[in-house]
C-alpha cells in the first residue's frame, strides 16, 4: 500500500509478483512433502530469527520514513523501483515463518485428506491457482489504492508509514520472542 500511495502502481504489482512466486514455490515444496522439515528445531529457529530480522529491518525503515516523508519529497535513490520491490518481496515473503508455517499446515492437511497428490495435472492446477490467487489479491489491492491515492496528503501518508512501521516492528518483536521462547 505504501508503495502505491507514493504513486508507484508498478512497484505494488512487483511486490505482488514476488509474493506470488514465493507462494508458488512453497506450495510446490508442500506438495513434495517438505513440510516435515519444519519439525527440525534448528531449522525452525533459524527461519524464525531470519524472519524477525527481515520484519524488523523493513519496519524500522518504514517508521523512519514516517518521520521524514513529504509527498513527492523523496530523493530518486530512495524511491523503490519495481525490480527492487520484487527482490524485497521475495526476501520478506520467503523468510516469513508465518508464510512457511501456513503452507506447511495447508499441505499437511491436504496430504491427510489425499488432496493435491492425485495427478500431475491436479498438482499443476493447484499450484497455478495458488500463484493466481496471490497475484489477484495484490492486483486488486494495488488497483484500489491507486484509485484513491489522490485523496491522500502528506500527513496521512506519514501516518500510514508510522502505523505500518510500528506494526512491522511489533510483529518482528513477537516473532523474535516466540522463536526464542519455543527453542
Average pLDDT over residues 63-80: 55
| Alpha-carbon gap, residue 33 to 90, rounded angstroms | 22
Q: How many CB atoms lie within 10 A of CB 63?
A: 18
| Residue 73's pLDDT band (cuts 50, 70, 90) | very low
Residue 139: pLDDT band by 50, 70, 90 thresholds? Answer: very high
Q: What is the mean pLDDT of residues 120-139?
A: 87
Q: What is the mean pLDDT of residues 48-57?
A: 78
Average pLDDT over residues 19-46: 79
Boundaries of every domain in the chain: 2-182
35 or 57, which is more confident: 57
The confidence score (pLDDT) of residue 110 equals 58
Task: Give the rounded distance of the alpha carbon of 98 from its chain centre.
Answer: 10
Statement: the pTM of the whole predicted model exceeds 0.85: no
State the average pLDDT over residues 145-156.
82
Indicate the burial class of 31 (C-beta count within 10 angstroms; 0-12, 13-18, 19 or more): buried
Residue 144's pLDDT is 92
Q: Mean of the pLDDT values across residues 9-32? A: 86
% of residues, the chain, pLDDT over 70: 78
pLDDT at 137 over 60: yes
Amino acid at each position: 500500500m505504501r508503495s502505491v500511495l507514493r504513486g508507484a502502481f508498478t512497484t505494488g504489482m512487483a511486490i505482488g509478483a514476488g509474493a506470488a512466486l514465493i507462494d508458488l514455490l512453497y506450495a510446490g515444496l508442500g506438495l513434495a512433502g517438505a513440510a516435515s522439515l519444519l519439525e527440525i528445531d534448528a531449522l525452525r529457529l533459524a527461519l524464525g530469527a531470519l524472519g524477525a530480522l527481515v520484519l524488523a529491518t523493513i519496519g524500522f525503515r518504514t517508521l523512519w520514513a514516517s518521520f521524514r516523508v513529504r509527498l513527492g519529497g523523496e530523493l530518486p535513490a530512495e524511491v523503490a523501483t519495481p525490480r527492487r520491490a520484487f527482490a524485497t518481496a521475495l526476501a520478506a515473503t520467503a523468510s516469513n515463518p508465518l508464510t512457511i508455517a501456513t503452507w506447511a499446515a495447508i499441505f499437511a492437511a491436504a496430504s491427510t485428506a489425499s488432496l493435491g497428490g492425485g495427478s500431475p495435472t491436479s498438482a499443476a492446477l493447484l499450484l497455478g491457482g495458488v500463484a493466481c490467487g496471490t497475484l489477484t489479491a495484490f492486483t486488486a489491492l494495488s488497483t484500489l489504492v491507486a484509485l484513491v491515492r489522490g485523496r491522500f496528503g502528506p500527513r496521512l501518508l506519514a501516518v500510514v508509514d508510522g502505523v505500518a512501521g510500528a506494526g512491522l516492528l511489533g510483529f518482528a518483536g513477537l516473532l523474535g520472542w516466540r522463536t526464542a521462547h519455543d527453542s
